Amino acid sequence: MTTPAQAAPPGQLVPAGPRPADGMGMAIRAFLFWLVNYRRTWRGTIYSSVLGPVLYLGAMGVGLGSLVDSHGTASLGGVSYLSFLAPGLMAANGMQTAMDESLYPVFAAVKWQKTYQAAASTPLRPGDLFRGHILFTTMRLVMNVVIFLIVMVAFGAARSAWVLAAVPVAVLTGLAFAAPLDAFAVTQEKNDQAFNMIFRFGLIPLFLFSGTFFPVTQLPAWIRPLAYVTPLWHGVALCRSLSLGTADWLGALGHVGYLAAIALIGLAAGQRTYRRRLYV
Amino acid sequence: MPLGRVADVPDPDVLIRAKGLTKRFGDFTAVSGIEFKLRRGEAFGFLGPNGAGKSSTMRMIACVSPPSGGELTIFGLDPVADGAAIRSRLGVVPQEDTLDVELTVRENLLVYGRYFGLRRPVIAERTTRLLDFVQLTERADDQVEPLSGGMKRRLTIARSLINEPQILLLDEPTTGLDPQARHVVWDRLFRLKQQGVTLILTTHYMDEAEQLCDRLVVMDGGKIAAEGSPRELIEAYSTREVLELRFAVAEHDQAAQKLAHAPADRMEVLADRILLYVPDGDAALDAVRGLGLEPLTSLVRRSTLEDVFLRLTGRRLEDG
């Protein structure tokens, strides 16, 4: 085991060893861990990434949509239910992907398998592990949202070429969930009970009432503000206006700004929570 | 910019220096002002029962637990400010296995090597060598999950060597292994020691400490109770031989009272045995019989670190 330091002249300099890479370089090393793991399971995830959108757009968009359309679609802005629903589902797909990637995988890494603790013994710092996982989640978001877009176009559910711009918006929507959820999942010490609560009282109500399936204006007036503060509503609204070709710059900027702010708060929180959990 | 910083240690062979090192968790003090030095090439041990503060000390050295007080330098660097640089030169074998059990043996080393920024060909070459060293070559492409406890431990050791560390930290390296697996691990660690790798290990097995450590500290209640080589500690805190006596349960207490008059340096009355610390065990046994006592069994043995620990703390190692 020869190393440069062992040849160092006595009493002189203690070499600092290989210079640690910059923050992003270190995060990419952590990202590779998730990638090597993903190599074993990617096929299965592709099937479900395709099947999910096909089932939803088929059953809800085409099936239920034919009923909705036959009663007039003025409240949907005069477009078919399929065209109304698809971009909303695209944003919701971002949220769903974020939930799947952020809660259990992070908890497994810190509690069940302790792969985070193993990585913390290397030059990687807790923040690198956090950003590495966010990078991987971003990759998964891009994959799922692009697959969704392809299915959506195949169903003829996109009405404007601006729908391409909905892809990064749906990814950002996902990140607005992934960053805070990552930051939260790593703090869980005992068990995964909190995650069931998040799925039951977070994901499902958001999915149903954030304007994905019907306009938020159909909700009672007193509850609407609640929908407006949820990140999903902003993602749904912007994806929809892009896909329908009705987006305006100011509104788009507002939605993107809100989603980015939530994601940045999550990133700052995760930097802290990862550190507190791994450096005890 | 210089590559490193001028070491505050005059002696370049001192790799770790701790002074007044303390770790508190809320009101609980896990490590209470300990002082030690680790020199290049030595095998240094922390011996003590569970809860003595050994693992907390190891975690501070591994730069994953900021000290609450005192001084700690590793390679002359500060573990809080220069954690990443220090960790790039350490190998860590944690107490609990932290392998990725869903990956293969080889993939575990690949991922870990990448954490250190090593290139794939370098990792591949080292993987071949390290798996050979820990006798896992034939399992290289098997998933980790079904491997035995001993194999997982050896893989963890291989993993800790992927960055060719200057110091190898081993926290309870054989706890939970069966005796045979334990001897295989000891054999590998002994080879590393022979190759000049600097080792720090914690253990609550006195035989492990005696076999592997050139020098050790006995820890108890977060403090260092004694320091020295195994031989020095035994000479300083115990006698050459120990006479172990076992009496019938009904006679145990009475025998202990009578033995107070036996010519021994010291006597320890355990729940099931009585230990007499003497220079000559056989002579002592004759003297015991001379007192009119007939033990059910008797054993004359050399003193061990277990006896040192008993003397220093009044408790046995495994009692914790």
Q: What is the pLDDT of residue A234?
A: 97
Hey, are the CB atoms on A11 and B7 less than 8 Å from each other?
yes
* Mean pLDDT, residues A271-278: 96
User: Encoding tokens for residue B122?
Assistant: 């370098």
Is residue B97's pLDDT more than 80?
A: yes
Is A249 at the interface with chain B, CB within 8 A?
no
User: Encoding tokens for residue B201?
Assistant: 């290990």
Min CA distance, B10 vs chain A (Å)? 6
Q: Find which of B23, B115, B152 to mutate to test the A interface (most A CBs within 10 Å of its CB).
A: B115
pLDDT tens sequence across A95-151: 999 999 999 999 999 999 999 999 999 999 999 999 999 999 999 999 999 999 999
Report the relative pairing of strands B69-74 and B43-47 from DSSP bridges.
unpaired
Continuous H helices in chain A:
23-38, 42-56, 65-70, 81-102, 104-107, 115-120, 126-154, 163-185, 193-198, 204-209, 224-229, 231-244, 249-278
Q: Which of the four pLDDT bands, split at 50, 70 and 90, describes residue A217? A: confident
Min CA distance, B93 vs chain A (Å)? 9
CA separation for the pair A140, B286 (Å, rounded): 79
Chain A CB contacts of B82 under 8 Å are 16
* Mean pLDDT, residues A247-258: 95
Q: What is the pLDDT of residue B201?
A: 95
Nearest residue in chain B measured CA to CA from A15: B4
Min CA distance, B115 vs chain A (Å)? 5
Q: What is the pLDDT of residue B10?
A: 60
User: Encoding tokens for residue A255?
Assistant: 């939605």
Q: What is the pLDDT of residue B9?
A: 46
Share of chain B above pLDDT 70, in %: 96
Q: What is the pLDDT of residue A76?
A: 85
Is B64 at the interface with chain A, CB within 8 A?
yes
CA separation for the pair A145, A147 (Å, rounded): 5
Cβ(B134)–Cβ(B181) below 8 Å: no
Q: What is the pLDDT of residue A21?
A: 59
Q: Read out DSSP for B83-125?
A: HHHHHTTEEEE-SS----TTSBHHHHHHHHHHHTT--HHHHHH
Chain A CB contacts of B4 under 8 Å are 13-16
Hey, are the CB atoms on A121 and B94 less than 8 Å from each other?
yes
Is residue A200's pLDDT more than 60?
A: yes
CATH class of B239-302: alpha beta
Per domain, the residue ranges of chain B are: 14-229, 239-302
Nearest residue in chain B measured CA to CA from A40: B103
Q: What is the pLDDT of residue B12?
A: 82
Q: Which of the four pLDDT bands, split at 50, 70 and 90, describes residue A15? A: very low
Residue in the block written with tokens 């033990």: B295
User: B35 versus B6: which is more confidently predicted?
Assistant: B35
Hey, are the CB atoms on B166 and A1 less than 8 Å from each other?
yes
Hey, are the CB atoms on A279 and B66 less than 8 Å from each other?
yes
Nearest residue in chain A measured CA to CA from B80: A279
Is residue B238's pLDDT more than 60?
A: yes
Q: What is the pLDDT of residue B8?
A: 52
Residue B71 phi, psi dihedral angles, 5° rounding: -115, 145
User: Encoding tokens for residue A1?
Assistant: 């085991």
DSSP-derived 3-state class of residue B213: coil
* Mean pLDDT, residues B276-304: 92
Q: What is the pLDDT of residue B5?
A: 52
Hey, are the CB atoms on B114 and A15 less than 8 Å from each other?
no
Q: What is the pLDDT of residue A139?
A: 98
Q: Find which of A32, A110, A116, A122 to mutate to test the B interface (most B CBs within 10 Å of its CB).
A: A122
pTM for the structure as a whole: 0.88
Candidate from A11, A14, A122 with C-beta closest to B87 = A122
Nearest residue in chain B measured CA to CA from A25: B117
Is residue B231's pLDDT more than 70?
A: yes
pLDDT tens sequence across B25-75: 999 999 999 999 999 999 999 998 888 999 999 999 999 999 999 999 999
Min CA distance, B198 vs chain A (Å)? 10
Is residue B276's pLDDT more than 90?
A: yes
pLDDT tens sequence across B130-171: 999 999 999 999 999 999 999 999 999 999 999 999 999 999
Is B7 at the interface with chain A, CB within 8 A?
yes
Q: Which of the four pLDDT bands, split at 50, 70 and 90, describes residue B206? A: confident
Min CA distance, B188 vs chain A (Å)? 15
Q: Which B positions 160-179 lie with beta carbon below 8 A of chain A? A: 163-166
Hey, are the CB atoms on A125 and B83 less than 8 Å from each other?
yes
Q: Which A positions 119-138 lie with beta carbon below 8 A of chain B? A: 119-125
CA separation for the pair B79, B164 (Å, rounded): 19
Candidate from A18, A29, A279 with C-beta closest to B115 = A29
The CATH architecture annotation of domain B14-229 reads: 3-Layer(aba) Sandwich (3.40)
Inter-chain Cβ pairs, chain A and chain B, closer than 8 A: 128
* Mean pLDDT, residues A32-49: 92
Q: Which B positions 117-146 lie with beta carbon below 8 A of chain A? A: 117
Backbone φ/ψ region at A142: left (φ over 0), alpha (ψ -120 to 50), beta: alpha
Is residue A158's pLDDT more than 50?
A: yes
Residues composing chain A: 280
Mean pLDDT (chain B, rounded): 91
CA atoms within 13 A on the CB side of A265: 12
Mean pLDDT (chain A, rounded): 90
Candidate from A30, A37, A120 with C-beta closest to B102 = A37
Is residue A170's pLDDT more than 70?
A: yes
Backbone φ/ψ region at A171: left (φ over 0), alpha (ψ -120 to 50), beta: alpha
Q: Which B positions 93-112 lie with beta carbon below 8 A of chain A? A: 94, 96-103, 107, 110-112
> Among candidates A244, A214, A243, A210, which has minimal Cα distance to A75?
A214
Q: What is the pLDDT of residue A10?
A: 38
Cβ(A105)–Cβ(B102) below 8 Å: no
C-alpha A188, offset from chain centre: 20
Min CA distance, B111 vs chain A (Å)? 6
In this structure, of A6-10, A183-187, B143-147, the range with the lowest mean pLDDT score is A6-10
